């Protein structure tokens, strides 16, 4: 799907473009102690492997800044230094060679300190994210607006941007995160109507999965569907690798990034199914996921409707009468015993990635389609048409042809 994306300024976080129509990037944050260089680098590599384009790292001590200096040449992705309270640590992070800074205007409040950091960032040629959080707003703004409402978050961001602009610093991206999803959405909408800076989307303190995932998807995808947002982070109480995976998957499901991993779809099962669809889908998801192939695979409970309903899938499996019917783009290409269904699915996925769709359809078992049709007819004769398709078609025709 092509969304009418809000056009923003573009800046560079290392070699990753953000804004200005660039692909929406995925971010996450390390949970290790930054002065543990090897441990932090191991997590950064894991995050990059899971789909993170940019990684944020805490810089809360001089030792952390020193760790960043060692990590920067070895990191596979750009690193953003996360700064709280001590502006001198922002200066130290710049000296360490980080790709960007994140400043929280709620806890670095002195204008002169913010401007010192901005001048040094300008000289270093690195951007700054103004990271506003509902939970750490300046007390004066809270009193003025009566709480962490969208207008308060946006005012905080605009004041910080003014300080940066005063010293001719303009490589800015902004986030206005809230743990309340509707307020988060409203805050970003208000901000998007006010500035043309690239926006970093996220629901702060979303919590552990599944609730944290649901809240993050609800907020982030709503805004992305409106064309708002240039980079995203899922803030989960979980292994940060899960954040990167979730962020990447969301962009792929929305058609905003090319698929880089498995997309498994499955029917919800029904009385017609002759296998445990949930168990088969779970096994297929694990085994195919280990292959790391960027394909869409369908697991369907019956051959009556499966291949037709999932005809857009690259590869699929439909069960029926003790057999598994493998199909590619809706075309049945193989029929295997039920016990071998998932094995055959994995094998076919590898062949499909090596040979392509046309070659695999051309190599189809010539008897597979006929056997699938025989099974479909047999099941219909035994179970009947659960959807009453013929009856419904006739009823529609009668109404359409009614006189008057």
- Nearest of 34, 26, 14, 27 to residue 83 by alpha carbon: 34
pLDDT of 28 strictly over 90: yes
Structure token digits, residue 358: 């046309």
Per-residue pLDDT tens over the stretch 259-294: 888 889 888 777 666 678 889 899 999 999 999 899
Distance CA 57, CA 63 (A): 13
Q: Indicate the helix (H) or strand (E) that contains 351.
A: helix 341-355
| Residues present in the chain in total | 404
Per-residue pLDDT tens over the stretch 360-383: 999 888 887 777 677 666 666 666
Sign of CA dihedral 29, 31, 37, 43: negative
Distance CA 17, CA 381 (A): 58
Structure token digits, residue 189: 């909408």
Domains plus CATH for the chain? Answer: 10-253 (3.20.20.20), 263-383 (3.30.413.10)
User: What percentage of the chain exceeds 90 in pLDDT?
Assistant: 70
Structure token digits, residue 333: 């290409």
Per-residue pLDDT tens over the stretch 296-345: 998 887 766 667 767 788 998 888 777 888 889 988 899 888 899 999 99
CA distances 310 to 50, 266, 317, Å, are 27, 9, 9
Q: Indicate the helix (H) or strand (E) that contains 376.
A: helix 368-383
Name the pTM for this structure: 0.84
pLDDT at 6: 92
Burial readout 74-100 (b: 16 or more C-beta within 10 A, e: otherwise): ebebbbbbbbbebbebbbbbbebebbb
pLDDT band at 2 (very low <50, low <70, confident <90, very high): low
């Amino acid at each position: 799907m092509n969304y009418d994306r809000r056009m923003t300024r573009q800046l560079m976080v290392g070699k990753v473009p953000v804004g200005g129509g660039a692909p929406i990037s995925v971010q996450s944050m390390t949970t290790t102690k930054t002065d543990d260089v090897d441990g932090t680098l191991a997590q950064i590599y894991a995050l990059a492997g899971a789909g993170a384009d940019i990684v944020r790292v805490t810089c809360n001590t001089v030792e952390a800044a020193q760790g960043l200096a060692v990590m920067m040449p070895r990191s596979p992705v750009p690193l953003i230094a996360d700064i709280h309270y001590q502006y001198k640590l922002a200066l130290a992070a710049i000296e360490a060679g980080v790709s960007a800074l994140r400043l929280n205007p709620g806890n670095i409040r002195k204008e002169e300190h913010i401007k010192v950091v901005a001048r040094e960032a300008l000289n270093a040629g690195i951007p700054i994210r103004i990271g506003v959080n509902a939970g750490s707003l300046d007390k004066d703004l809270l009193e003025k607006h009566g709480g962490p409402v969208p207008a308060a978050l946006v005012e905080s961001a605009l004041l910080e941007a003014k300080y940066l602009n005063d010293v001719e610093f303009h490589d800015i991206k902004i986030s206005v995160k809230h743990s309340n999803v509707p307020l988060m959405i409203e805050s970003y909408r208000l901000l998007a109507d006010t500035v043309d800076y690239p926006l970093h989307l996220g629901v702060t303190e979303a919590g552990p999965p599944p609730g944290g995932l649901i809240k993050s998807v609800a907020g982030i995808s709503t805004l992305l569907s409106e064309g708002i947002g240039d980079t995203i982070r899922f803030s989960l109480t979980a292994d940060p690798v899960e954040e990167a995976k979730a962020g990447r998957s969301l962009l792929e499901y929305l058609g905003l990034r090319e698929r880089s991993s498995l997309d498994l779809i499955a029917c919800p099962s029904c009385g017609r199914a002759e296998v445990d669809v949930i168990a088969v889908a779970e096994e297929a998801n694990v085994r195919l996921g280990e292959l790391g192939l960027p394909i869409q695979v369908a697991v369907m409970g019956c051959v009556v409707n499966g291949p037709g309903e999932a005809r857009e899938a690259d590869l699929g499996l439909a069960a029926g009468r003790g057999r598994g019917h493998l199909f590619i783009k809706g075309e049945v290409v193989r029929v295997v015993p039920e016990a071998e269904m998932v094995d055959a699915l994995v094998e076919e996925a590898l062949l499909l990635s090596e040979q392509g769709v046309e070659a695999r359809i051309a190599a189809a078992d010539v008897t597979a389609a006929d056997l699938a049709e025989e099974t479909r007819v047999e099941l219909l004769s035994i179970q009947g048409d659960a959807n009453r398709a013929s009856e419904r078609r006739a009823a529609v025709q009668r109404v359409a042809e009614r006189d008057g």
